[in-house]
């Protein structure tokens, strides 16, 4: 069974003690197995308090972030590469403190629009850093997820096939591919086939609708998404990600371009998403089991 998660931005834009407790309590109340905490600025996370709240409400956690221009490990620039490695190491120490099982997102480049393609030297530098990050993460049992995002948010990994090739070059069992339906809808020719082709390299999964609002209110064919996950035998977390101008994290909402109000009530949104994902995965697993049966 996949663990189901919900992104913290469904609830809160920041991570003050009050926001931390509210986001964790509401995720737990709806029966989610984990909350994904936005870690663009890991120094803003009070690890001891967050751990206490996760324990109090009995829910797991993962963390996600993207690097920025000054910490871009794919830049080929030694100073920025060193700052990026330090940032990722800092995130790992918070992840270890709060008991996060996965650290994922745009960990291999800046999370921004690029105006040039990456260089081979830049990619090689990113892979070197991620190998050290992966080795460090492994000591705490943490899986690293390299999130494949659309061309306007990175120039390095835009397709599942690129990410599989990149993760193989890193060459560690805990450094895996992280897919997101919102981005796949933009870049993949066949979402179901892309999921299946990742096979055991798939380590984290984001479910988001084409407009980033309510599941089912956009144009993504989720039957094919769930079928792909069932056929791939994917066992990792499935996390619901949605953004509205109703909940603002200035840095993250700005990069993502969250200008419209797609929902007001995060609880109603997250309750609906959980039912949608559970029903979709159940019927996909049943259909897959039927198709495998030999009569
Ligand atoms: Mn995502």
> DSSP labels for 10-59?
GT-SS--HHHHHHHHHHHHHTT-SEEEEE-SSGGG--HHHHHHHHHHHT-
Compute CA 270 distance to the chain's CA centroid, rounded to the nearest angstrom. 16
Contacts of 167 (CB under 8 A, 6+ apart): 146, 175, 176, 177, 201
Residues paired with 148 in a beta bridge: none
Could you tell me the distance, in angstroms and rounded to a whole number, from the CA of residue 241 to the centre of ligand 1?
A: 6
Kindly report the pTM of this predicted structure: 0.97
Q: In whole angstroms, what is the distance from residue 210 CA to residue 46 CA?
A: 33
Q: Three-state SS for 260?
A: coil
Each residue's pLDDT, cut to its tens digit, for the chain (295 residues) gives 899 999 999 999 999 999 999 999 999 999 999 999 999 999 999 999 999 999 999 999 999 999 999 999 999 999 999 999 999 999 999 999 999 999 999 999 999 999 999 999 999 999 999 999 999 999 999 999 999 999 999 999 999 999 999 999 999 999 999 999 999 999 999 999 999 999 999 999 999 999 999 999 999 999 999 999 999 999 999 999 999 999 988 889 999 999 989 999 999 999 999 999 999 999 999 999 999 886 6
Could you tell me the distance, in angstroms and rounded to a whole number, from the CA of residue 111 to the centre of ligand 1?
A: 12
Could you tell me the distance, in angstroms and rounded to a whole number, from the CA of residue 148 to the centre of ligand 1?
A: 8
Could you tell me the distance, in angstroms and rounded to a whole number, from the CA of residue 134 to the centre of ligand 1?
A: 20
CA dihedral 141, 30, 40, 76 (to 10 degrees): 60
Q: Which residues are catalytic?
A: 147, 241
What is the topology classification, in CATH, of domain 4-294?
TIM Barrel (3.20.20)
Could you tell me the distance, in angstroms and rounded to a whole number, from the CA of residue 203 to the centre of ligand 1?
A: 13
What are the pLDDT digits (tens) for 132-153? 999 999 999 999 999 999 999 9
**120-139 and 78-98 are packed helices; what angle lies between their axes, rounded to 10 degrees?**
20
What are the pLDDT digits (tens) for 90-109? 999 999 999 999 999 999 99
Q: Residue 15 carries which DSSP code?
A: -
Q: In whole angstroms, what is the distance from residue 148 CA to residue 160 CA?
A: 6
């Amino acid at each position: 069974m996949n663990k189901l998660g919900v992104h913290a931005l469904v609830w809160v834009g920041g991570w003050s003690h009050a926001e931390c407790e509210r986001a964790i309590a509401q995720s737990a109340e709806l029966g989610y197995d984990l909350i994904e905490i936005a870690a663009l600025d890991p120094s803003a996370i009070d690890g001891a308090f967050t751990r206490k709240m996760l324990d109090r409400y009995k829910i797991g956690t993962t963390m996600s972030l993207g690097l920025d221009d000054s910490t871009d490990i794919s830049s080929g620039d030694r100073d920025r590469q060193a700052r990026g490695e330090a940032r990722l190491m800092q995130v790992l120490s918070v992840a270890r403190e709060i008991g996060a099982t996965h650290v994922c997102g745009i960990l291999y480049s800046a999370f921004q629009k690029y105006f040039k393609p990456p260089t081979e030297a830049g990619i090689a530098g990113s892979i070197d850093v991620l190998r050290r990050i992966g080795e460090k993460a492994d000591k705490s049992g943490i899986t690293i997820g390299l999130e494949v995002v659309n061309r306007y948010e990175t120039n390095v990994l835009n397709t599942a096939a690129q990410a599989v090739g990149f993760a193989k070059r890193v060459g560690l069992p805990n450094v895996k591919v992280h897919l997101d339906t919102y981005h796949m809808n933009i870049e993949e020719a066949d979402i179901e086939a892309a999921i299946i082709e990742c096979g055991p390299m798939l380590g984290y999964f984001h479910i988001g609708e084409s407009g980033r609002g309510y599941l089912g209110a956009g144009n993504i064919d989720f039957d094919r998404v769930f079928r792909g996950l069932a056929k791939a035998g994917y066992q990792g977390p499935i996390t619901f990600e949605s953004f509205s101008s109703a909940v603002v994290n200035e840095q993250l909402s700005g990069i993502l371009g969250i200008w419209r109000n797609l929902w007001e009530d995060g609880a109603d949104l997250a309750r609906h998403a959980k039912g949608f994902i559970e029903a979709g995965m159940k019927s996909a697993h049943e259909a897959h089991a039927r198709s495998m049966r030999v009569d």
